[in-house]
Amino acid sequence: MFRIRKHALAATFTLFALGASVSFAQGLPKDGQLADGEISKDELAVILATAQQQLIRLSDEATAEYEAVIRDAEPNMPAAWMLMKDGETVKRINMDSQAEGIPAASRIVMYRAALKSVARKGEINAAAILYTGRLNEETDTEVLVIEHEHRLGVSGNKVIGYEVEGSDISWAEPVTQKKRFQWFYDAKEDDS
């Protein structure tokens, strides 16, 4: 059912970021300058490429670390990571002592609040919360969800089916969903 895809997450982030760059670029005037004259199409492309690379770095490191949670026989609890302002350093948020005995859904809310606080202070470039669950009530298909946001305006959820056989994890094709901005910016009311 699933095939092992070592770089599926990175490729998905690449495609997502490229899609985002296309939508941003389509709104630019033909002369290469934004209405306020501050940035050209080429500069915007560099900015979006930077966001893409940073999201790939964040997702790769977070997923690699979270795989131990997926392999563990215990119930999987959510975890969160941040990409710091330097664009290189990835740090895990450790709220385990404060969240002891708290259900997974409540932990996700706690992580969202913590990330919003750090993001609004300008301390990070990107953030991600990883958690697992079932695809739906009628199936036993397990999925990994990666909620992510970048300060440059990229926000989404990756949903990736997986199977664990021994110590190996087989990944299905990821599916990308739009996600309202929550951490770096407030979403507009008409955003879904």
* Full-model pTM: 0.76
Q: How confident is the model at residue 33 (pLDDT cuts 50, 70, 90)?
A: very low
Cα(first)–Cα(last) distance of the chain, in Å? 31
pLDDT digits (tens, 9 = 90+) for 142-161: 999 999 999 988 889 999 99
Domain residue ranges of the chain, discontinuous segments joined by +:
8-178
CB atoms within 10 A of CB 126: 26
The radius of gyration computed from the CA coordinates of the chain, to the nearest angstrom, equals 18
Query: Which ranges of the chain would DSSP assign to H, the alpha helix?
Result: 8-26, 41-71, 104-120
Token pair 């969160």 is found at 80
